Amino acid sequence: MIDMESDAYQIALRCNDLFDLKRCKLSEEYNYASLPLCVIDCIFSIRSKYSSTRNTVIRYCDYYKLKRLKDDDDISKCKQHTISELKNNIECMGSENFANVVLKNRQRTSTTNGILKSEAVFQWAKILEKHNIQYIQDVENKLDEKIEQMLLQVSGQKSGISLSYLHMLCGDENTCKPDRHILRFLSESLQRTVDTQEA
């Protein structure tokens, strides 16, 4: 029996009213060929226009001649660029030069006391490498709450939005990126305030 008063039902009704659901499809970032691209995307997408984030990922791939998107559903580990390779690429240049030369993006995690997002990517890569999380598959299999807490302590990541988005980009269909757009949509749909945790 469907509970027509439930939040889920109300949100489903609004989606049905607003969108052509038969034609909806995931955008290309949900088809990244490796975990480092997911990490760059989820860090750079916070408080930023998505076109800027997409261009940042493209520049990284172009610079290192990497495949950006999977050709099919095959994400064999042997085909993936690794977290260690990402970490080494940043380490060789330093976060500042990496931001200037490779990414051509000097965005910071916050306008007040924020670090370069390239440095946040580097810190995430170090944490993930330390816990042997190298590939897209490792996020589901190895990324536990203890490691997540370490990632959340990197400057600008406390809200958990980047972390939720990382899970989404790696194939988790049971979470969402609770950014301001999603929070506004849910709040308008339910006619009450929805916070990050509830989203």
Complete domains list, the chain, with CATH = 28-169 (1.10.340)
Q: Which of 60, 47, 35 is nearest to 171 (CA)?
A: 35
For residues 6 and 64, what is the distance between their CA atoms, to the nearest angstrom? 49
- Per DSSP, the three-state class of 199 is coil
Which amino acid is it at 18?
L
Residue 198: the pLDDT is: 85
In three-state secondary structure terms, 69 is strand
Distance separating alpha carbons of residues 31 and 71, to the nearest angstrom: 9
Q: Cβ–Cβ contacts within 10 Å for residue 182, how many?
A: 16
Q: What is the pLDDT along the chain (199 residues), one digit of tens a residue?
A: 777 788 889 998 998 999 888 888 888 888 999 999 999 999 999 888 889 999 999 999 999 999 999 887 667 888 899 999 999 999 999 999 999 999 999 999 988 889 999 999 999 999 999 999 999 999 999 999 999 999 999 999 998 989 999 999 999 888 877 788 888 998 998 899 998 888 8
Residue 169: other Cβ atoms inside 10 A:
22
